[in-house]
Structure 1
Amino acid sequence: MKKTLLSAVIAVFGMLLNANAQEELLVGGDISVLPRYEAKKVSYYDQQGKKITDVMQYLKSDAVGWNALRVRLFVDPSGDSDPQVCQDLNYVVPLAKRIKAEGFKLLLDFHYSDTWADPAKQWTPASWLGLNDEQLKEKIYDYTKDCLQVLVDSGATPDYIQTGNEISYGMLWGQKGTTANRCYTGSNANWPRFIALLKQAGKACREVCPDAKIIIHTERAGKPSVLKGIYQKLASVDYDIIGLSYYSFWHNNLATLASSLTQLATSFPNKKVHIVETAYYYQYQPAVGEGIDYDFSSTWPISAAGQKAFTQDLITELKKHTNVTALYWWFPEENGNGPNNSVLNDWVNRGLWNNTSHKAHSALYELKEFLNRESSGVEQHKMNSTDTKHESKYYDLQGRRLNGEPRLGGIYIHEAKDGRRIKTL
């Protein structure tokens, strides 16, 4: 009897200990341009109009509740005229240090390019163009390793690492405009080269940041069969998480996203999924064919309220898919343009602050709802940097949380700020 009881205690205790590790939930955004807004002294206000003195601290406050931030990294963006393309290693290191110091999880997004890397643009950095494929494999390994080592030595070790950005059709294609080296799921051409590059990048990640999770990021969320084909082709690559971009105006409706997520859960049951980019317009959405592919303004109006409704509906859908464990908003810090703010050439109009009033949109405060789930009949505890008021909790051997401290003698799981332990009363 004692042996059976002890086994039960160990089983429940193990379940509680592993719950967070297995189901770590993350919510946040890519805040790669924030230092430029800060340098321009652009004002940020909350929804009520109160000035925010430190945006990063506000993002982790109870009001917002974020626990993860993403930063992109270009090789040498100095020749790019887009003011958003400025994140070289010297820019990223102090930003990453701040993120870690504030207690956020850090997602580092390697672009492996001097400019935007996306499905239509995966141009090799100018300084790498003279390298053949074998030399390029060594270069991506050395570059990845060197960048990560600088971050580690600076106290800014990434927790998650994207080895490429939206690499649905491969990466490091060559000179701008080339059609060589692109990968398509209906052909085997160029895949061995692409896979070899990913393996070299991943090797560097494992060596320098062995505890970090590697993400392979694509954006075919609107094409479930293509999405499946990509990750089937990459079966031999060592990685941990499938990363997706999902923008309804490019990737279709939530039903399509649901089909993709279900397909991934079925085909790759051991891989969690992170939505590493999403956003929705709150004003001035482009016309179909002139910047977007789908218009859902009849479902989610192009307004702050419509942006909030999109966010709510997206989170409702994502909660149905237990393989999805992270959600990031892209460019949430966008905050105006004009004579006193030359951060952008043009407004994007998908951020979480209003470009004119500089007040936060309601969608900013909805994102934390992604974290509100229950797991395995036990309230899932999400202890992270925002847990400044952690309370002591008790569970019985069936995994049920007690209302306060136990009143009867017995064996319980006691969860406190410093960890969980078996407690006999």
Structure 2
Amino acid sequence: MNRIFYFLSLIFISIGCDDSKDTSDVLSPVEPLFYKGMDLSFQSELEKYDLVYKDENGKPITLLNYVSENGTNLVRLKLWHTPQNGQNSLSDVKAYALKIKSRNMDFLLDFHYSDTWADPGSQTPPQAWRNMNFDEIKNAVYNYTKEVLFELKEQHTLPKIIQIGNETDSGFLWNYGKVWNDYNDNWPNYAALVKEAIKGIKEVDPSNNIQIMLHHSNVENAIYFFNELQPYHLEFDIIGLSYYPQFQTKDLDLVKTKLNTLATTFNKDILMVEMAYPFTLEWNDNCINFIGDDSQILTEFSATPLGQKAYLEWLVNTIKSIPNQKGIGFCYWAPDWVAFVGNENTSTKGSAWENQCMFDFDHKALPIFDVFRNN
């Protein structure tokens, strides 16, 4: 929508101005919205343990207030169908969506279409959908998607962006929509399931205010994925990507090239919907971290508070440089998943992520927040 206002403003200026007229009331071009987002899916659980987050001066803060006041304009939440521990359920999402909206931030809903984590190596259908035939699974996707959005609409918290599946490089809802190994020719079924989700979304949102995103986990390989989907003419708006250097290329020029090629080839907006970087290689609990060695990070950016900040500055500049203003923002994954003493299932097992948070081991805000404030 912001892009429409931008171009209308340019047209207005081009036809309404000359040197002899007062142009003081002419509209200036509107800068397209750039998303500075966070995935705060852990907060529905972490809030129960009275964690104390602090600002950069050590003053206690309310997390959601602080991030909204310091540049964050998008919050991503994952949704699990029937999670065993109840976390990331629809009731969780609805409750936190109200908090997001009350602080004037946009909301991104990440449908996993699973009872637990879904990613390229695991796309397990909800237990309630096991043993269905293909027509039944299509109906389940359609009805579930529509029902979730209807409940969100009823409480006036419809998302701005909806993600159909999480990191669906290999498809989703295996084996119904699997597109990997023995199922390499299964793209028609994957596309058919995505279309059912899209149909459900559009019936709740006939004005098309919601943007629809498909999510691939790898910047290098995403071109293949979206090429395979071209013949099915799926109605989606955003290419969502993950970029974690420890799992992907460390060639930053290649990252730029692939992002630019995606934008010019498919004419879709691009959102780096998952990213993070460590501020240290140390740890703050007894849990092994995802990153703990120099070989896992980029030589250009150190694992320090300023290195973390510099990395995000590079990423923002790279996204903003994507041709035709197709780079629309980023979403930092789990900036709040700190280590703490508390619940047995959370703190005893620990956080494998505390050195990639946006808060240090004393839970103080790190310099990376400057990037949110200044872009």
| TM class by smaller structure | 0.7 to 0.9
Residue 337 (structure 1) shift: 2.2
Structure 1 or 2: larger helix share?
2
Matched, 1:9 2:5: no
C-alpha RMSD of the superposition: 3.1
SS in 1 for 2:178: coil
CA displacement at 1:6 relative to structure 2? 9.3
1:301-328 superposed Cα distances (whole Å, 9 cap, x missing partner): 2232321221122222222213111211
Q: Distance in 1 between matches of 2:338 and 2:344?
A: 9
Residue from 330, 333, 337 that aligns with 1:330: 333
1:45 aligned residue? 54
Question: Residue 259 of structure 1 corresponds to which residue in structure 2?
Answer: 257
Tell me the residue number matched to 1:280.
Answer: 277
Pick from 201, 208, 217 the counterpart of residue 205 of structure 1.
201
Provide the secondary structure at the position in 2 that maps to 1:47.
coil
CA change 1:8–1:246 in 2 (3 A) is same
Instruction: State the shift of 1:346 in Å.
Output: 2.1
Q: Which residue of 2 aligns with 1:230?
A: 225
Choose which of 51, 60, 63 in structure 1 pairs with 2:68: 60
1:263 alignment partner AA = T
Show the counterpart of 2:350: 346
When the two structures are superposed, what TM-score results if normalisation uses the length of structure 1? 0.74
Measured against aligned partners, the alpha-carbon deviations of 1:327-380 in whole angstroms (never above 9, x if no partner) come to: 1100011222224685452221211112x31111111222344x3xxxxxxxxx
**Structure 2 contact 13–27 (Cα < 8 Å) conserved:** no
Output one character per residue of 1:31-63: Cα deviation in whole Å (capped at 9) or x when no partner. Answer: 1111322211100101111111x21111111xx
Match of 2:185 in 1: 189
Gap regions ≥5 residues in structure 2:
1-10
CA–CA distance in structure 1, aligned partners of residues 34 and 249 of structure 2 = 25
For residues 245-265 of structure 1, give each alpha carbon's deviation from its aligned partner in whole angstroms, at most 9, with x where no partner exists.
111211223222212111112
Select 1:358's aligned residue among 359, 363, 367.
Answer: 363
Kept after mapping to 1: 8 A contact 2:45/2:87: no
Looking at CA atoms only, which structure, 1 or 2, has the larger radius of gyration? 1
Correspondence for 2:161 = 160
Distance 1:208 1:293, change over 3 A: farther
How many aligned residue pairs are there? 346
Gap change, CA 1:7 and 1:267, over 3 Å in 2: closer
The residue number in structure 1 matching 2:36 is: 27
Paired residue secondary structure (2:215): strand
TM-score by length of 2: 0.84
CA contact (8 A) 1:285 1:302 kept: no
Query: What SS is found at the alignment partner of 1:69?
Result: strand
Instruction: Name 1:72's counterpart in structure 2.
Output: 78
Q: Deviations over 1:99-124 (max 9, x none)?
A: 11211111000000111111111111
Q: Which amino acid aligns with 1:72?
A: K
Instruction: Report if the CA contact (8 A) 1:249-1:293 is conserved.
Output: no
Shift of residue 24, structure 1, vs aligned partner: 2.3
Where do 5+ consecutive residues of structure 1 fail to align?
Answer: 80-84, 175-179, 372-425
